Amino acid sequence: MSDELEAAGLASVGALSAGGTADLQGQPCRNCGVMVKHRYCPNCGQLAASFHRPVFSLVAETVSDSLALDGRIARTLPRLFFKPGQLSRDYSDGKRARYVPPFRLFLLSSLIFYFVAFAFINTNGVNALSQIEAGEGAELNEEEREALFDYLAQAENFDEDELDRILESARANAAAEAEADEAQAESEPDAPVSEPQENSIDVGSDEFGERLEGAIQRTIDNPRLFTTAAENWAPRLSLILVPLTILALALMYAWRRSIYVYDHAIHALHLHSWIYLSSTLAFGLSALLGGWVAGLYYSLALPVYTMFSMRGAYGTGYVQAFLRMVVLSFFWLISLVVLMFALIVLSLLAV
């Protein structure tokens, strides 16, 4: 934290300003005395600026430097979105200082995506609330009640008093249904009584199977536990898609000796960054316009962008880029199925 405070202090007097007015060019550096021909001293790196300017100009500069990633994000995102593959080619060609580093961009994009995605998932708890209000839920104990309220805490339209009223209504409906069933059973002739069976899923007799069976039962009793575990595991497993994509690209371009694994890594990070950011946008538009937006995105926008990204990054023709896009899409589909299965198992075992 002390480093950030020190950096902020230096920025407040313009020492770290990348956009300051260099009004001392062509003069000796005020720090070391070496002649400065450009914006920065070639010896000590100090900006050739006196900062004898109006206070408003200095404050605006400091705020701009604090909120921007040296302006690189403004140059990175338009190129990532509107010139598929060109950002990867520029970075591989050595034009790096002007752009956000690929791995940092990937982490930022994935963070935004999962924040929005799990926010959408958590708001689906309102549907569970409406089911309880309709009398479809069974009576809840104190632990389940707290878990349900926790699950619906993000819904601003409901508070604890409203939840109590709804749960009370659900209990009354359940009690009325139980009395009706009991009255109907008394009016019918006696039937042979069968032994009660446990409501569990038999997934095996070994130790792993028993552990998984217990996790499934706990998930059925409290789905929120599974959702929380999935939120923890999903970002970790998604990281595996990047090296898998690098492997797939390396195999598809194995005959191109001028392209190295480093180039594939840069392209894979940029490609996944675009997928995360565009998926976040698709989530938002789907909430406003309907589910058809997400369908259009995954069926059209994603494959088209992937094809043009390969063409821009590697300079391949349209036909070759299209064929490689098909192969990569099939590879992604298989990988996602495997990772989803792993996510479900790991999330269950974490319950």
Of 24-38, 82-96, 202-216, the least confident: 202-216
Residue 292 falls inside a structural domain: yes
309 falls in which pLDDT band (50, 70, 90)? very high
Residue 235 falls inside a structural domain: yes
Mean pLDDT of 242-264: 91
51 plus 88 within the same structural domain: no
257 plus 313 within the same structural domain: yes
Looking at per-residue pLDDT, the higher value among 72 and 172 belongs to 72
The residue segments making up the domain with residue 6 are 2-68
9 plus 112 within the same structural domain: no
Taking the alpha carbons at both ends of the chain, their separation in whole angstroms is 35
Q: What 3-state class would DSSP assign to 59?
A: helix
Secondary structure of 123-176 in the HEC alphabet? Answer: HCHHHHHHHHHCCCCCCCCHHHHHHHHHHCCCCCCCCHHHHHHHHHHHHHHHHH
284 plus 340 within the same structural domain: yes
Mean pLDDT of 212-235: 70
Q: What 3-state class would DSSP assign to 35?
A: strand
Residue 247 falls inside a structural domain: yes
In the structure, how many helices (H) and strands (E) does the chain have?
14, 0
Give pLDDT, residue 233. Answer: 78
The pLDDT of residue 202 is above 60: no
The pLDDT of residue 85 is above 60: yes
Looking at per-residue pLDDT, the higher value among 67 and 119 belongs to 119
Mean pLDDT of 86-97: 89
Q: How far apart are CA 80 and CA 308, in angstroms?
A: 12
223 falls in which pLDDT band (50, 70, 90)? low
342 falls in which pLDDT band (50, 70, 90)? confident
The domain total for the chain is 2
Residue 309 falls inside a structural domain: yes
Residue 192 falls inside a structural domain: no
346 plus 296 within the same structural domain: yes
Give pLDDT, residue 176. Answer: 72
149 falls in which pLDDT band (50, 70, 90)? low
228 plus 308 within the same structural domain: yes
Give pLDDT, residue 290. Answer: 82
Give pLDDT, residue 303. Answer: 94
61 plus 88 within the same structural domain: no
55 plus 104 within the same structural domain: no
133 falls in which pLDDT band (50, 70, 90)? very low
The pLDDT of residue 46 is above 90: no
Decide: 226 and 346 in contact? Cβ < 8 Å: no
Of 48-52, 233-237, 308-312, the least confident: 48-52
Decide: 237 and 231 in contact? Cβ < 8 Å: no
53 plus 88 within the same structural domain: no
265 plus 345 within the same structural domain: yes
Give pLDDT, residue 13. Answer: 39
23 plus 109 within the same structural domain: no
The alpha carbon torsion through 74, 75, 78, 79 (nearest 10 deg) reads -160
Residue 129 falls inside a structural domain: no
Residue 312 falls inside a structural domain: yes
Buried b (16+ CB within 10 A) or exposed e, 47-62: bbbebeeeeeebeebb
Residue 193 falls inside a structural domain: no
